[in-house]
Amino acid sequence: MMKIEKRHIIEVLLGVVIGALCTLSVVRYRESRHMLRTRYDSWRKLNLVLDLVDRHYVDTIDRSGLTDAAVVAALGKLDPHSVYLPPVQLSESEEELAGNFEGIGIQFNVPNDTAIVLEVIPGGPSEKVGLLPGDRLLKVDDKVIAGVNFPQDSMVRRMKGPSGTKVTLTVGRSGEEIPFEITRGKIPVHSLDASFMLSDSVGYMRLSKFSRTTFQECHEAAQKLEDKGMKHLIFDIRDNSGGYLDQALLLANDYLYRGDTIVYLEGRHRPKEVYKADGRGTLQKLGLTVLISEASASASEIFAGAVQDNDRGTVIGRRSFGKGLVQEPFFFNDKSGVRLTVARYYTPSGRCIQKPYEIYGNDLLTRYTDGEIFSADSVRLDKSDVHHTRSGRVVYGGGGIMPDIFVPMDTTRASRFYIECNRKATQMRFAAAICDRHGARLRDIDSFPEMDKFLSSMNLKVEFPHFAKQRDGISCTEAEWDESAPYLVPQLHALISRYSKLSEDAFYKYYLPVDNTVAAALAALGAN
């Protein structure tokens, strides 16, 4: 009896153990269905998560949108310049720097709720059919774009298109509506906004970006100015956000002597690369002044840093943006791409001028509120990061190029009348109204003496305040006009002359006399 009971007990215990083992096995099996092997140092987790969502998520998903969001979020953990570009955005960004695009070949502005042609690009499709500066854009094909708050970027998209395709543009001119059928074509995009002589021996060039054609444009323009007697160049790269590295190298090479270091690059997966001038530049003897601002970045800083560290010229303005990172493009077969930071660049003296990532969001506002924009004494330099130019002058790293001569932002023109007119773009609308009235004469002007004569015939002291009162309800006393006129009149001259054949050259030519940074550059030349 005893043996039977013991045997029964053992059988029961075995059953419990076996049952427990089976239950544990089932639990572990259930757990194992959801346990995917991965590690935090492996990229596999991202793929696994996307696959899980694809196979198990409750609703239908947008695979491309989810993938793009994951890529954007991942790159967002890096630096501010490593970015993902969807197909449309990538195409637009590449087109902007490539030096040409497909479209109709006009530049326009929208001072009211109607776009007005500022420039018809020579040789482009619009010039061939007869579009003129001052024309008002009313319709693109059958779509009304005037007076309906039509977005400006949407206007551009409707007018652009593949070469050989047609678009009908209806414009308003002298009270008439005139339709033009335009066959789109390749349009050259210039990075050099203006080039002309400021005096018998001083030339001026303004560069807006470093595109594929920048070196060629600047080199040819400088040669033309030399033919006119230029001995010294004021090269304006204020607000130039950069572009192609190779164009900055070619441009610097034109001015530097053989063996001068232009810049060097180095990254975790990029061995040090040093770029030096080859001595074949044709502008090595030309006097040089470079103008920079807080919005001058990247390739602009490479050029300014090379000029400063080699003591090749004088850098004037305000501390530059502080972008010392190099991006390399990587493309996918769906026409999207990634711009990934692969290295830092260093000026010839060894400065890395990249500012800290954490201050990107409000750096420019901080410079304004801390007074840096208005006083060199308020500029926060990293005095621990000391470097020296070729002649031994001290320069600092830690964020941007500090100019040799600091020029504060000019706030003296901030009269009530001037500020209110700027807020409502009254000056631009006035210039468009003058073009409506005198368009035929304006469009024939192709020399500065002719333009001077036209502008001097206008009584702006009477005409502009009357226009401001009638159109925008902005009144002006005689005292307020006298206070505003030294800055307002050159601005009006610049905007009006833009509608002539002189185009952007005229705009800068007439506006520069009230530009305090250019004034400082000319004063420095006079002092030497």
Span 32-41, pLDDT tens digits = 455 656 566 6
CA angle, 72 then 76 then 80, to 5°: 120
Please check the confidence at residue 416 and state whether its pLDDT lies above 60.
yes
> Mean per-residue pLDDT for 189-206?
93
Per-residue confidence (pLDDT) for residue 119, from 0 to 100: 79
CA distance 297 to 300: 5
Active site residues: 298, 309, 323
Which parts of 130-267 fold into alpha helices (H)?
152-159, 214-227, 245-255
Of 472 and 31, more confident: 472
Per-residue confidence (pLDDT) for residue 189, from 0 to 100: 75
| Confidence band, pLDDT 50/70/90 cuts, at residue 155 | confident
CA distance 352 to 305: 10
Per-residue confidence (pLDDT) for residue 314, from 0 to 100: 98
**What confidence tens digit (pLDDT) does each residue in 454-481 have?**
999 999 999 999 999 998 899 999 999 9
Say if CB 409 and CB 373 are below 8 A apart: yes
Q: Give the contacts of 102 (CB within 8 A, at least 6 positions apart).
A: 160, 161, 162, 163, 184, 185, 186, 187
**How confident is the prediction for the chain on average, in pLDDT?**
86
* Choice among 5-19, 108-122, 201-215, 455-469 with the minimum mean pLDDT: 5-19
Per-residue confidence (pLDDT) for residue 410, from 0 to 100: 83
| Chain-centre distance for alpha carbon 523 | 29
**What confidence tens digit (pLDDT) does each residue in 310-343 have?**
999 999 999 999 999 988 888 888 888 888 999 9
Per-residue confidence (pLDDT) for residue 294, from 0 to 100: 92
CA distance 91 to 4: 87
Helix pair angle (448-456, 478-497), 10° resolution = 150
Please check the confidence at residue 17 and state whether its pLDDT lies above 60.
no
Please check the confidence at residue 43 and state whether its pLDDT lies above 80.
no
Say which CATH topology domain 100-188 has. Answer: Pdz3 Domain (2.30.42)
| Chain-centre distance for alpha carbon 100 | 16
Say if CB 267 and CB 326 are below 8 A apart: yes
- Label residues 439-473 b or e (16+ Cβ within 10 Å = b): beebbebeebeebeebbeebebeeebbebbeeebe
Per-residue confidence (pLDDT) for residue 48, from 0 to 100: 87
Per-residue confidence (pLDDT) for residue 326, from 0 to 100: 87
Domain boundaries of the chain, sorted by first residue? 46-77, 100-188, 192-409, 416-525
**What confidence tens digit (pLDDT) does each residue in 164-183 have?**
899 999 998 877 888 889 98
CA distance 38 to 29: 18
Of 15 and 436, more confident: 436
CA distance 326 to 244: 10
| Confidence band, pLDDT 50/70/90 cuts, at residue 247 | very high
Please check the confidence at residue 128 and state whether its pLDDT lies above 80.
no
Tell me, what DSSP letter sits at residue 357? G
Per-residue confidence (pLDDT) for residue 509, from 0 to 100: 93
Per-residue confidence (pLDDT) for residue 221, from 0 to 100: 97
Residue 386 CB burial class (10 angstroms; 0-12, 13-18, ≥19): middle
| Confidence band, pLDDT 50/70/90 cuts, at residue 131 | confident
- Label residues 199-232 b or e (16+ Cβ within 10 Å = b): eeebbbbbbbbbbbbbbebbbebbeebeeeebeb
Domain 192-409 = CATH 3.30.230.80? no
Integer-rounded Cα radius of gyration of the chain? 31
Per-residue confidence (pLDDT) for residue 202, from 0 to 100: 97
> Mean per-residue pLDDT for 252-256?
98
**What confidence tens digit (pLDDT) does each residue in 344-400 have?**
999 999 999 888 888 877 788 888 888 888 988 888 888 888 999 999 999 998 789
| Confidence band, pLDDT 50/70/90 cuts, at residue 2 | very low
CA angle, 367 then 371 then 374, to 5°: 105
3-state secondary structure of 110: coil
**What confidence tens digit (pLDDT) does each residue in 479-512 have?**
999 999 999 999 999 999 988 989 889 999 999 9
**What confidence tens digit (pLDDT) does each residue in 386-402 have?**
999 999 999 998 789 99
